[in-house]
Copies of this chain bind each other. A is one copy, B any other.
Amino acid sequence: MVSRANSSISIVQVAERAGVSVATASRVISKTNYPVSEPTRKKVLAAAAELNYSPNSLARSMKTQRSNLIAVLVGDNSDPYFAEITRGVEDVANEAGYLTIVCNTDRKPVKELHYLQTLQDLRADGIIFAGGGLQEPDYPERLQLKVNEVLRRGGAVITLSAHTLQVPSIQADSFEGARQMTMRLLELGHRRIAFIAGPSNLLVANVRLQGYMAALAEAGIPISPGLILQGNFSESDTQRAVHGLASLAPENRPTAIFAANDETAIGALLGLRKMGWKVPEDISVCGFGDLPLAQRVVPTLTTVHMDLREMGRAGMTRLIAILNGEDTLKPLVIWPTSIVERDSTSAIHV
């Protein structure tokens, strides 16, 4: 039982009331640069105002082939990491007259593909992949095919993270960030540095792991598999992983934990506290991302800084440029990361 009021007034009624043709009314309403005499324009605007006319964007989009809709594909919009990016995107989109659709993929290929189809049907002007690419069997190929359909239609697509997709991208330098953070821990005297990895099917998580391993290799420190713990970028599971450290012989225990993202690091912080370990006295902890949250926990978190909101803004700006055929950046733009040292890390006591 769908009740649907239908008093909706179209440009036809506006034209009628103003005593002009529909074409003329349209020209006034849509603000083309087609000349319309001032008296006529006023009549049309007056009629529109009196009738409370609201131009139908759907009809307009159909004719102009521009929906003015863009979408952001995120893992989870309630994750502050994505929330920051989305906010940056939306700011720029809004100013430029685009509306932003947020899609939670939960990092599931099925959901991602499904949304992609829905967005294609909707003729979204642009799509931003905020989350990293998923490395699952056959998936990159299937995803690329769907994305190609969007591109063929004239849609713009970019990624904001390490991704399997061959599209323009703006990315933080995850490899360097992880490498430098690891080097910093080495400088502080740490030799047994544990790494809590992210989901193994997430490209960007693996890049960070690479950075960690690269730094150790440079320092000539062998990588001990026992120090690479599996995490999933969420706080809850991490506590359990950290618990396992207690069972190690003291001389094998890490003196520092480098978590692949901030949420994980905070999970570690909580887990360690429950175990009675003091941070940074007993063990140093650091994360990756520098969420607003990182400054609120106790101890405040040492982490790799990425300016997520700004990257969101830059992403949307680039998307618009592409849509207007004026993107001049090179395909892959890498943004530097920096290390922010706070209270959760310290030099090893000799």
| Residue ID in chain B nearest A118 by CB atoms | B99
Is A324 part of the binding interface, using a Cβ–Cβ cutoff of 8 Å?
Answer: yes
Q: Which of A65-84 contact B (CB under 8 A)?
A: 65, 67, 76-78, 80, 83-84
Given the interface pairs A80-B80, A101-B99, the reply to whether A266 lies near B296 with Cβ below 8 Å is yes
Annotate A333-348 by CB proximity to B: 1 below 8 A, 0 otherwise.
Answer: 0000000000000000
Q: Which of A76, A84, A153: most chain B CB closer than 10 A?
A: A153
Kindly state the separation between the CA atoms of A267 and B223 in the bound complex, as whole angstroms. Answer: 41
Q: Collect the chain B residues with CB atoms within 8 Å of residue A41's CB.
A: none
Are the C-beta atoms of B58 and A5 separated by less than 8 Å?
A: no
Q: Collect the chain B residues with CB atoms within 8 Å of residue A1's CB.
A: 324-326
Kindly state the separation between the CA atoms of A101 and B124 in the bound complex, as whole angstroms. Answer: 12
Q: Collect the chain B residues with CB atoms within 8 Å of residue A78's CB.
A: 80, 83-84, 86-87, 309
Annotate A1-38 by CB proximity to B: 1 below 8 A, 0 otherwise.
Answer: 11111111000000000000000000000000000000
Are the C-beta atoms of B62 and A3 separated by less than 8 Å?
A: no
Stoichiometry, as copies per complex, reads 2
Q: Collect the chain B residues with CB atoms within 8 Å of residue A91's CB.
A: 104
Q: Collect the chain B residues with CB atoms within 8 Å of residue A59's CB.
A: 62
Are the C-beta atoms of B87 and A99 separated by less than 8 Å?
A: no
Kindly state the separation between the CA atoms of A235 and B293 in the bound complex, as whole angstroms. Answer: 12
Are the C-beta atoms of B2 and A324 separated by less than 8 Å?
A: yes
Q: Collect the chain B residues with CB atoms within 8 Å of residue A55's CB.
A: 121
Picked from B87, B101, B309, the residue with its CB within 8 Å of the CB of A101 is B101
Given the interface pairs A62-B56, A62-B58, A101-B100, the reply to whether A152 lies near B121 with Cβ below 8 Å is no
A208 to chain B, nearest CB (A): 22
Is A319 part of the binding interface, using a Cβ–Cβ cutoff of 8 Å?
Answer: no
16 further interface pairs, Cβ-Cβ under 8 Å (given A7-B153, A56-B62, A77-B87): A54-B117, A55-B121, A56-B123, A58-B67, A76-B87, A77-B83, A77-B102, A78-B80, A78-B86, A87-B104, A94-B104, A99-B103, A99-B122, A100-B101, A235-B296, A270-B296
Some 18 contacts from A to B, beta carbons below 8 A apart, are A1-B325, A4-B154, A5-B151, A6-B65, A8-B153, A54-B117, A56-B62, A57-B121, A58-B67, A59-B62, A77-B86, A78-B84, A87-B104, A90-B102, A99-B122, A100-B101, A235-B296, A266-B296
The list of the 6 closest CB pairs from A to B, nearest first, reads A298-B298, A78-B87, A4-B154, A78-B83, A1-B325, A5-B154
